[in-house]
């Protein structure tokens, strides 16, 4: 019997040669199963083999390493030991990513063998209001950044008048340093399908859309195939869905701009009210949730709301898939309950900087998130605690900079990014970001009077912009100015 090797087919693994490793394994006589990625990206391409101790890993592998692995050579230099014993995985609390690295993405049999489908089966035995109450009781909040209670949103849609309702998944993962949405779309697509089917049953929706950024063509392809598999298997049961690809606009991560794009128009932010829960896609009541929010739903229905709520702290319940990126030795996905600290993520998991230099700043929450200095690295990562220090968790992305980073230049980049990506609907964002770049340039040229003007401009953008694009751009600018003032003095 040929030895079976598990080789990831996630885009991150493919980018560093996983296909070549898989071909070499087949040429060496192995049976190869292409799986999702565990999210330990510094070890990719990661190869795993069955053993009496569970799967053992080897990585990062090249095609030249594979023949010895297939032959079962003892003491292989790339051997990692049993995967379940790696501290990076042992210290995690994976609920949403419980199947990461274990299953073949398009195999429903694999999905169900690892607990998939239990949430949907439970939901189909419940009344719609009971499903909503379970989500309310779990404390689940939106994982896209706004952290609005998911159950309250679902109840609003359920109670809205209308025969036709929609569920829309926001998978427009545009934040720098984030990749959790992509990993799920490519690696565990049935989890999202299950979460959306549960949401549809709860609110009475008959159709769903998954909006994915254009930079993820492989995600679109795999998820589209997964929908076909789920449909053929009878999973959707009166609910149907499709995946739509965006056109590369960052602002389409804002829910109303995304609706405009889904309806075939340019992604421009809508004024509220009406809320999308009342008049959303095509003017119909619409549940809009971030991909990670919907992916958390099956666990809540399968295990019960109390099980999920027992993870986390305060009003930040459950787990968060943190995505470690930037200047780190061990970048990867770390799912932990809310309350873990930035210091734990940076050093216990990330291993410090790849450059070996001191960490200077960590941008948390994407390109519109604050730069967090060391004095706040022991603050628990939860929505309320981070709001107190003027920061946000966003989508869980962390980008690490060492002490060579120029924070003034990064602040300027934030304003320039906003100027480029603004939809142009409101003046504070459209004009404010352009003036912000000019003011920072003058400040860096030595005109210290510009600092007060920059602070006034940020205050206007924060309070008068129509959406988070303009209102949050001041976060990276002001955090850089407040915590690293020396970088603005040339």
pLDDT (tens digit, 9 = 90+) per residue, 276-312?
999 999 999 999 999 999 999 999 999 999 999 999 9
Per-residue pLDDT at 188 = 98
What ranges do the domains of the chain cover? 4-91, 108-310, 312-402, 407-488
Binning pLDDT at 50, 70 and 90, where does residue 1 land? low
Per-residue pLDDT at 81 = 95
Partner residues linked to 335 by β-bridges: 321
Per-residue pLDDT at 190 = 98
How large is the average pLDDT for residues 419-435?
96
Token pair of 71, please? 């032959």
Per-residue pLDDT at 73 = 83
**Of 354, 340, 276, which Cα lies nearest the Cα of 312?**
340
pLDDT digits (tens, 9 = 90+) for 212-232: 999 999 999 999 999 999 999
pLDDT digits (tens, 9 = 90+) for 138-195: 999 999 888 999 999 999 999 999 999 999 999 999 998 999 999 999 999 999 999 9
N- to C-terminal Cα separation, the chain? 68
How large is the average pLDDT for residues 435-463?
97
What distance in Å separates the CA atoms of residue 212 and residue 253, rounded to the nearest whole number?
Answer: 9
How large is the average pLDDT for residues 45-74?
94
| Residues in contact with 74: Cβ distance below 8 Å, sequence separation at least 6, in sequence order | none
In sequence order, what DSSP letters do the residues of 182-217 get, joined into one string?
A: HHHHHH-HHHHHHHHHHHHHHHT--EEEEEE-TT-H
What distance in Å separates the CA atoms of residue 270 and residue 267, rounded to the nearest whole number?
Answer: 9
| Residues in contact with 97: Cβ distance below 8 Å, sequence separation at least 6, in sequence order | 39, 180, 183, 184, 188, 321, 333, 335
CATH architecture for the domain at 312-402: Roll (3.10)
Looking at domain 4-91, does it have CATH number 3.40.30? yes
pLDDT digits (tens, 9 = 90+) for 236-280: 989 999 999 999 899 999 999 999 999 999 999 999 999 999 999
Per-residue pLDDT at 457 = 98
Percentage above 90 pLDDT, the chain? 96
Residue 73 DSSP SS3: coil
CATH architecture for the domain at 407-488: Up-down Bundle (1.20)
CA distances from 329 to 7, 233, 264, 348, 405 (A): 22, 42, 42, 11, 17
Flag whether pLDDT at 439 surpasses 80.
yes
| Residues in contact with 34: Cβ distance below 8 Å, sequence separation at least 6, in sequence order | 7, 8, 9, 22, 104, 105
Residue 296 DSSP SS3: helix
| Residues in contact with 431: Cβ distance below 8 Å, sequence separation at least 6, in sequence order | none
What distance in Å separates the CA atoms of residue 27 and residue 30, rounded to the nearest whole number?
Answer: 7
- The sign one gets for the Cα dihedral 331, 335, 336, 342 is positive
Flag whether pLDDT at 8 surpasses 90.
yes
How large is the average pLDDT for residues 100-117?
98
Q: Are 292 and 298 in contact (CB under 8 A)?
A: no
Q: Are 193 and 117 in contact (CB under 8 A)?
A: no
Token pair of 249, please? 């606009």
Other Cβ atoms less than 10 A from the Cβ of 478: the count is 20
What number of H helices and E strands is found in the chain? 21, 16
Q: Which fold has domain 108-310?
A: Rossmann fold (3.40.50)
**Of 140, 157, 158, which Cα lies nearest the Cα of 149?**
140
Partner residues linked to 287 by β-bridges: 167
- Tell me which H or E stretch contains 219: helix 217-232
């Amino acid at each position: 019997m040929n030895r079976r090797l598990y080789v990831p087919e996630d885009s991150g693994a493919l980018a560093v040669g996983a296909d070549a490793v898989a071909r070499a394994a087949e040429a060496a006589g192995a049976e190869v199963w292409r799986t999702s990625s565990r999210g330990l990206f510094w070890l990719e391409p990661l190869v795993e083999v069955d053993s009496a101790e569970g799967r053992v890993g080897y990585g990062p592998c090249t095609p030249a390493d594979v023949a010895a692995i297939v032959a079962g050579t003892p003491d292989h230099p790339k051997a990692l030991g049993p995967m379940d014993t790696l501290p990076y995985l042992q210290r995690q609390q994976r609920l949403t990513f419980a199947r990461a690295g274990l299953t073949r993405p398009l195999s429903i049999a694999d999905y169900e063998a690892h607990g998939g489908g239990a949430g949907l089966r439970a939901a189909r035995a419940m009344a719609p209001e009971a499903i909503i109450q379970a989500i309310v009781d779990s404390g689940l909040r939106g994982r896209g950044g706004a952290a609005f209670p998911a159950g309250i949103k679902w109840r609003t849609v359920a109670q809205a008048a209308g025969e036709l309702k929609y569920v829309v998944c926001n998978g427009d993962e545009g934040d720098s340093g984030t990749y959790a949405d992509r990993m799920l779309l490519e690696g565990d697509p049935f989890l999202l399908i299950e979460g959306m089917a549960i949401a549809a049953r709860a609110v009475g929706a008959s159709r769903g859309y998954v909006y994915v950024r254009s930079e993820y063509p492989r995600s679109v392809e795999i998820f589209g195939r997964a929908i076909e598999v789920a449909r053929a298997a009878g999973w959707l049961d009166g609910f149907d869905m499709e995946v739509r690809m965006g056109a590369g606009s960052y602002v389409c991560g804002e829910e109303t701009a995304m609706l405009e794009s889904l309806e075939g128009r340019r992604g421009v932010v809508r004024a509220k009210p009406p809320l999308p829960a009342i008049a959303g896609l095509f003017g119909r009541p619409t549940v809009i949730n971030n991909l990670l929010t919907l992916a958390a739903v099956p666990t809540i229905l399968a295990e019960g709301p109390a099980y999920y709520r027992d993870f986390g702290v305060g009003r930040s319940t459950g787990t968060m898939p943190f995505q470690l990126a930037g200047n780190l030795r061990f970048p990867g996905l770390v799912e932990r309950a809310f309350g873990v600290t930035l210091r734990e993520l940076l050093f216990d998991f990330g291993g410090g900087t790849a450059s070996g230099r001191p960490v200077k700043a960590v941008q948390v929450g994407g390109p519109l998130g604050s730069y967090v200095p060391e004095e706040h690295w022991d603050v628990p990562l939860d929505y309320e605690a981070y709001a107190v220090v003027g920061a946000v968790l966003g989508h869980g992305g962390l980008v690490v900079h060492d002490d060579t980073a120029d924070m003034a230049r990064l602040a300027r980049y934030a304003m320039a990014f906003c100027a480029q990506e603004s939809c142009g609907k409101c003046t504070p964002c459209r004009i404010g970001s352009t003036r912000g770049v000019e003011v920072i340039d003058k400040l860096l040229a030595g005109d210290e009077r510009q600092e007060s003007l920059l602070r006034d401009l940020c205050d206007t953008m924060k309070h008068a912009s129509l959406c988070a694009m303009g209102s949050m751009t001041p976060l990276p600018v002001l955090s850089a100015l407040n915590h690293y003032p020396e970088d603005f003095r040339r």
